[in-house]
Amino acid sequence: MKKFILMLVFVLGTFTFSEITTSEVESFFTPKAQIYVSNQKDWFSGMDPASDNDEIIWEKLNYFINVVSIGNKYRVSYTPFDNVKSYNKEKYPILNYKIKKKYYVNSKKNQNTPVTDSYEIRVEFGVINTGTEIKKGNKYERTDFQMLSENELNALLKSKNAKRLNSETEKNTKIYLDWLQHNAN
């Protein structure tokens, strides 16, 4: 009986602590978070909005890599996006923003928000996504955000050919993604 109870506590603890928390997601919108963009596409899974039975779809999409430092580690998430209007000569998406009044659910008022028509976030793939792993030729959505050392993060960014957004574009991207996360889902 003791073994059964111990096993049950272990299993429940694993599920409890492996869930993504709101504070983890919110950390990607803080001033210390950094946003990189890749000139590659990667696989992302989402729910097919046209399906009645929550069918999973996989698509190769452009993406942001969102990074926030947690002590001496780095939490990493991804934001897939689509329908890019134009690319620069190095094949990075050109990101443009303009300020518009957008309604905020939490404050129940319109506020100035950067918006874009240079790309499109497809909410069926999530605004803040854990990313995909490919093992033995099969694609899997990660169940949690990656936690990487500085060396591992640098290797990831290099392998994804990612570059950090300039400060103004990064600020506008964070505000826009934050608005989408809280108002468009």
| Banded model confidence at residue 20, pLDDT cuts 50, 70, 90 | low
Q: Which amino acid is at 7?
A: M
What is the rounded distance in angstroms from the CA atom of residue 67 to the CA atom of residue 33?
A: 6
Among the listed ranges 6-15, 32-41, 50-59, 101-110, which one has the minimum average pLDDT value? 6-15
Using an 8 Å Cβ cutoff, are 156 and 103 in contact? no
Q: What is the pLDDT of residue 11?
A: 40
Among the listed ranges 15-29, 42-56, 81-95, 142-156, which one has the minimum average pLDDT value? 15-29
**What ranges make up the beta strands (E) of 29-97?**
34-38, 42-47, 56-70, 73-82
Question: What is the dihedral sign for C-alpha 52, 56, 62, 65?
Answer: positive
pLDDT mean across residues, the chain: 84
* Residue in the block written with tokens 């942001």: 64
SS3 20: coil
Q: What are phi and psi of 174, to 5 degrees?
A: -60, -45
pLDDT at 2 over 50: no
pLDDT at 55 over 50: yes
What is the rounded distance in angstroms from the CA atom of residue 43 to the CA atom of residue 182?
A: 24
126 or 156, higher pLDDT: 156
* Residue in the block written with tokens 């996006």: 81
Among the listed ranges 9-23, 46-60, 73-87, 161-175, which one has the minimum average pLDDT value? 9-23
Spatial CA neighbour of 173 closest among 35, 81, 44 = 35
What is the rounded distance in angstroms from the CA atom of residue 114 to the CA atom of residue 56?
A: 31
| Banded model confidence at residue 19, pLDDT cuts 50, 70, 90 | low
Among the listed ranges 85-94, 128-137, 168-177, which one has the minimum average pLDDT value? 128-137
Q: What is the pLDDT of residue 185?
A: 56
pLDDT at 140 over 90: no
pLDDT at 132 over 60: yes
What is the rounded distance in angstroms from the CA atom of residue 79 to the CA atom of residue 65?
A: 7
| Banded model confidence at residue 7, pLDDT cuts 50, 70, 90 | very low
